[in-house]
């Protein structure tokens, strides 16, 4: 199979699953999401990252060239977990909420929302104070799906966020939480 730079993220995940199988892809995605700069990159993880990113330049990820771009593999891994899933990846996704790079935190929050991972709620509350608006927005939306009544105050604080997208997401999250829990927040 040659690496193909075309296709949507869902298409690339489907290619990976066709090549290695769903279970193996989820296992590798979890390993990629846990991977940190300086850790050795195994060929199987690099091969998956190449497919997910639609890259043709292996050195771009393997050597971290340009420096500081190795986080993209973690972003792609989290994004791919939106399309192929197993509960065994839940703890790794929650761990991704603590990543040093904002894009990984944002995408991990999106995965929490998509797959309704309630154990992430407390960590999402802390992300409502993240310095990056996109992370705050993703955290609010995820809390709207997995949060309980005790998490509503954290979302409510974002309704007055200076970033309109965050404030709107917070209002939507409170409405979703109200519908889901049959209470007004």
pLDDT band at 62 (very low <50, low <70, confident <90, very high): low
Q: What are the residue ranges of CATH 1.25.10.10 in the chain?
A: 87-180
Average pLDDT, the chain: 91
CATH number of 87-180: 1.25.10.10
Q: List the Cα angle 9/63/79 in 5-degree steps.
A: 20
Indicate the pTM of the whole model. 0.91
Q: Which residue has the higher pLDDT, 171 or 66?
A: 171
pLDDT over 90 at 99, yes or no? yes
Other beta carbons less than 10 A from residue 61's beta carbon? 20
State the Cα–Cα distance between residues 148 and 43, nearest whole angstrom: 42
For residues 67 and 37, is the Cβ–Cβ distance under 8 A? no
């Amino acid at each position: 199979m040659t690496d193909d730079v075309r296709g949507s993220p869902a298409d690339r995940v489907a290619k990976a699953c066709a090549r290695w199988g769903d279970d193996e892809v989820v296992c590798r995605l979890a390993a990629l999401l846990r991977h940190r700069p300086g850790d050795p990159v195994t060929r199987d993880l690099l091969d998956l990252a190449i497919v997910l990113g639609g890259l043709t330049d292996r050195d771009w990820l393997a050597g971290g060239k340009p420096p500081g771009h190795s986080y993209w593999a973690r972003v792609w891994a989290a994004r791919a977990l939106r399309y192929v899933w197993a509960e065994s990846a839940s703890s790794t996704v929650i761990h991704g909420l603590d990543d040093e790079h904002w894009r990984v935190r944002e995408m991990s929050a999106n995965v929490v929302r998509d797959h309704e991972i309630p154990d992430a709620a407390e960590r999402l509350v802390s992300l409502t104070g993240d310095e990056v608006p996109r992370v705050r927005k993703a955290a609010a939306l995820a809390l709207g799906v997995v949060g309980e009544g005790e998490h509503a105050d954290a979302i409510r604080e974002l309704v007055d966020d200076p970033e309109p997208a965050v404030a709107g997401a917070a209002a939507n999250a409170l409405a979703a939480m109200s519908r889901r829990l049959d209470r007004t927040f």
